[in-house]
Chain A
């Protein structure tokens, strides 16, 4: 069963706005990862943040990790219609297994 929770479940914004998605987990982790899934397709790895890191950037993506609160957030700046997809967080535990959250469905309106 899923042990990661994502919030919100769905998000609708206008092109150019920022999108923020949150993820919470319950165990100790090695790292936390974010994935993107276009409708009916496989998942694509976006970014990984290690447990000893607090913030990471990749292009228009910014990920933060707060291990004391067991939470992470993904910020997509200056969103585009092409960013429309589902976004999943996934955390890797000490056993090197990846557990996925339920995902956030992002719609960016042109």
Chain B
């Protein structure tokens, strides 16, 4: 069965420090991968998505970047965190096929920038 792992679960980082969040998927090949951010009490904002190794599309200009070094690995990074980067970050995967299916989400990383 397909599973998605996301870590760490919580992270407290000082302003100006770097960030690296990792997401890995098991049990499927060539998934579409996504990074979302959720502000407190709000919906999800798509940050990045990837349809293949090295292919990254950004939805929102920001202080973050993403990379996909392997088929089932998706990394969210920042060189210097801002206070506004605080939030709940969710990784998800989907498989573009028929019949259509929903996204599978990781358990999320709560990032607090102090």
Chain A residue nearest in CB terms to B9:
A40
Q: From DSSP, what is the main secondary structure of chain A's interface residues?
A: strand
A39 to chain B, nearest CB (A): 10
Instruction: Tell me if B105 and A43 are in contact (CB < 8 A).
Output: yes
Is A20 an interface residue when CB atoms closer than 8 A count as contact? no
Instruction: Tell me if A45 and B43 are in contact (CB < 8 A).
Output: no
A38 to chain B, nearest CB (A): 10
Instruction: Tell me if B100 and A31 are in contact (CB < 8 A).
Output: yes
A109 to chain B, nearest CB (A): 20
Instruction: Tell me if A92 and B100 are in contact (CB < 8 A).
Output: yes
Q: Which chain A positions have C-beta within 8 A of B104?
A: 45
Contact pick for A1, options B6, B45, B100, CB 8 Å: B45
B26 to chain A, nearest CB (A): 16
Instruction: Tell me if B43 and A102 are in contact (CB < 8 A).
Output: yes
Q: Which chain A positions have C-beta within 8 A of B61?
A: none
Chain B residue nearest in CB terms to A44:
B105
Q: Which chain A positions have C-beta within 8 A of B107?
A: 41-42
Is A80 an interface residue when CB atoms closer than 8 A count as contact? no
Q: What are 11 A-B contacts with C-beta separation under 8 Å?
A: A40-B88, A40-B108, A42-B90, A42-B107, A43-B90, A45-B103, A88-B44, A96-B96, A97-B49, A98-B103, A99-B46
Q: What residues of chain B have their CB less than 8 Å away from a CB belonging to chain A? A: 6, 32, 34, 36, 41-46, 49, 88, 90, 92, 94, 96, 100-108, 110
